[in-house]
Structure formats: structure tokens, C-alpha cells
């Protein structure tokens, strides 16, 4: 029987087993997908040994994505660009790594708003961490013309400029309103807005009419930023879709079937998030 897992530290919060076990059942595949709590000092060894283990692969979550990048035998172009791996699969006796966060975001956007084109659009990303980098790379691949970045630590914006070039524009406080007025897609990739945490201070009153507002946080399912955007009449996109869509390629690599992100799966994971919120 095939086995796959998600590794992280801590790992209890992970919804990946819910997603992959839903698809395993749906496709009648005799396999298991489980959580593995792996301490940071053991992560590299676990990943390097995957090729000779009982596992066909694994998902990798915080804080192991960079370690996974170093530990696998091979990485593809996307993982190389990010220096981070979220999906490991075994091929020809080797542990190989890729990163599906960026494609997960784009697929979620297309799924929710099929008519929203990205070519030549202007985006603003709040945040400059790992998830921001994955989404920036995917937006550039999708033809977005320019990407403004708002981030607490300026050095990380400069790093993104050095990596991705002149399409990346630093947005400081004084330029924020003008940039928002010309923006087609605003994405929060910071952890600001998570349940019980600090909210984003950005005022979106001046945001271009009809601009799409996305948040990659999914606990809560609707952040204060999205609630405000909705109130102002903007189309909005929560982070749960990205989580579901980033899981698709791993499942296909491990089990040979491309699974679908159905309404039923969305509702199943959303209910689990809501249940956890009430506890
Ligand atoms: P990361 O690499 O640690 O980056 C965190 C980002 O948040 C940085 O830009 C950081 O700014 C900013 N930030 C954190 N605390 C802040 C504060 N108090 N004030 C201002 N800025 C703050 O993390 P990540 O891996 O990119 O993940 C970011 C978020 O995305 C997390 O909430 C994660 O759960 C979520 N995520 C969701 C999905 C999904 O599938 N929906 C996938 C991946 C990640 P500095 O640079 O100034 O530190």
C-alpha cells in the first residue's frame, strides 16, 4: 500500500490529511496520507531518506521548506527560484522537490474568477516572505506587468527586486494611495489578519474600483481585509482555495491521478476550519 505524509513542526493544525484522504477515497486508491511531526534537527535526514522509505512522497510545511530544498537530490526550476520545497516525490530512486504554492494561488484565482485575466495587469503584494515570493514568480509567469510590494522590512523588498528585476516596485507609505488607485490585484501574503492576531493597517479606500482583493490566510476563512474589501464592493478571494489547489500536483505525482478541487472538498475543509475556530 502506498503511503504519503505531511511533515512540519508543529503539524497538528495541518489540513493536508483531510484534503488528500478525501481524494484517495474519491478515487478508490488504496493508500494512506498522514501527519508526521518532525523536529527541525531531523527534517533533513527524513527527507533525504524518503527515497528508501515506505513513503512515495510528502508535503512540507513550516519550518522545513528551506531544509527540504537542501535535502532533496533534485529540484525543478520553480523550487530553485524560491529556494524552498513544499512537495517531495520519489523518482528513479531519488527524492525530488518542487513548490506548488504559486500555481496553487493562480489556480485558485482562475477557479473563482475564470474571466479575470492577469496579462499586463498591475498587482500589489503585501509581504515579502516565502509565500510572497512564490506568488510573485507565478504572477510574472502569468504575464502580470508590474508588482508593487509593501513590506515591514525594506531589505526583503530589495532582495525581491534583485531577484525578479524592474517589474518589482517598492511601495512606501507616501506612495501607497496612488499605487492602490492603479492596482488590479491586491494580495495579502503576510500573517497579519490571522485569527487572534494583529490586523493589516493598510487603508484600501483608494483602491481601484473592481480590483480583486485576495488574502492567503484561511484561518479565519474571511479576514478583516476581505470583509472590508467586500463592503467596498470588490471581488474577494480567501486563502483556502490556494491551500486546496496547491495540493493537486503532489497527489498527481504520488498517485498518478489529477484530482479535482470540488465544492464538496472546499466545504469539508472550511467546516473543519470553522469548527477549530469555535474551540
Ligand atoms: P514568512 O516567509 O515568514 O513571511 C512572513 C511575512 O509576513 C513577511 O513579509 C513579514 O514581514 C510579514 N509579517 C509577519 N509579521 C508581521 C508583523 N507583525 N507586521 C508586519 N509584517 C509582518 O511566511 P510565509 O511562509 O510567507 O507565510 C505567510 C502567511 O501565508 C502565513 O500566514 C501562512 O500561513 C500563509 N500561507 C498560506 C498558504 C495557503 O495555501 N493559503 C500557503 C503558504 C503560506 P517582514 O519581512 O518584515 O518580517
The structural architecture, per CATH, of the domain 2-100+247-278 is: 3-Layer(aba) Sandwich (3.40)
* pLDDT recorded at residue 125: 98
| Cα end-to-end span (Å), the chain | 35
* Pocket, ligand 1, Cβ cutoff 6 A: 101, 104, 127-132, 151-153, 156, 189-192, 194, 198, 216-218, 239, 242-243, 246
For 192-240, write each residue's pLDDT tens digit: 999 889 999 999 999 999 999 999 999 999 999 999 999 999 999 999 9
Measured in Å, residue 128 CA sits from the centre of ligand 1 at: 8
Q: Whose CA is nearest to atom 46 of ligand 1?
A: 153
CATH number for the region 102-241 comes to 3.40.50.720
65 counts as catalytic: yes
* pLDDT recorded at residue 279: 67
CA distance linking residue 163 with residue 157, whole number of Å: 10
CA distance linking residue 28 with residue 260, whole number of Å: 14
Domains 2-100+247-278 and 102-241 alike in fold = yes
Measured in Å, residue 129 CA sits from the centre of ligand 1 at: 6
Q: Which residues contact 241 (CB under 8 A, 6 or more apart)?
A: 107, 108, 109, 111, 112, 261, 266
Measured in Å, residue 30 CA sits from the centre of ligand 1 at: 36
- 73 pLDDT tier (thresholds 50, 70, 90): very high
Strand 122-126 and strand 185-188: pairing? parallel
What predicted TM-score, i.e. pTM, was given to this entire model? 0.97
Q: Whose CA is nearest to atom 37 of ligand 1?
A: 216
Assess contact for 103 and 138: CB atoms under 8 A.
yes
Q: Domains of the chain: which residue ranges?
A: 2-100+247-278, 102-241
Amino acid at each position: 500500500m502506498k503511503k504519503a505524509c505531511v511533515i512540519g513542526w508543529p503539524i497538528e493544525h495541518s489540513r493536508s490529511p483531510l484534503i488528500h484522504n478525501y481524494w484517495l477515497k474519491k478515487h478508490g486508491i488504496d493508500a494512506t496520507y498522514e501527519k508526521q511531526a518532525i523536529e527541525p534537527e531531523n527534517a533533513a535526514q527524513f527527507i533525504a531518506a524518503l527515497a528508501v522509505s515506505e513513503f512515495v512522497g510528502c508535503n512540507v510545511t513550516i519550518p522545513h521548506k528551506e531544509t527540504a530544498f537542501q535535502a532533496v537530490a533534485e529540484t525543478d526550476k520553480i523550487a530553485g527560484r524560491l529556494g524552498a520545497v513544499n512537495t517531495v516525490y520519489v523518482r528513479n530512486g531519488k527524492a525530488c522537490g518542487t513548490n506548488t504554492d504559486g500555481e496553487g494561488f493562480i489556480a485558485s484565482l482562475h477557479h473563482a474568477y475564470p474571466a479575470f485575466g492577469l496579462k499586463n495587469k498591475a498587482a500589489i503584494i503585501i509581504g515579502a516572505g516565502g509565500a510572497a515570493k512564490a506568488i510573485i514568480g507565478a504572477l510574472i509567469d502569468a504575464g502580470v506587468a508590474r508588482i508593487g510590494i509593501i513590506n515591514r522590512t525594506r531589505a526583503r523588498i530589495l532582495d525581491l527586486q534583485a531577484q525578479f528585476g524592474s517589474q518589482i516596485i517598492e511601495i512606501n507609505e507616501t506612495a501607497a494611495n496612488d499605487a492602490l488607485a492603479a492596482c488590479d490585484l491586491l494580495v495579502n501574503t503576510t500573517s497579519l489578519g490571522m485569527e487572534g492576531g494583529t490586523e493589516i493597517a493598510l487603508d484600501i479606500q483608494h483602491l481601484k474600483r473592481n480590483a480583486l482583493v485576495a488574502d492567503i490566510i484561511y484561518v479565519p476563512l474571511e479576514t478583516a481585509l476581505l470583509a472590508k474589501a467586500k463592503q467596498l464592493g470588490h471581488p474577494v478571494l480567501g486563502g483556502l482555495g490556494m491551500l486546496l489547489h496547491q495540493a493537486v500536483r503532489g497527489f498527481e505525482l504520488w498517485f498518478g491521478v489529477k484530482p479535482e478541487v470540488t465544492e464538496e472538498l472546499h466545504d469539508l475543509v472550511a467546516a473543519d476550519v470553522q469548527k477549530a475556530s469555535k474551540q
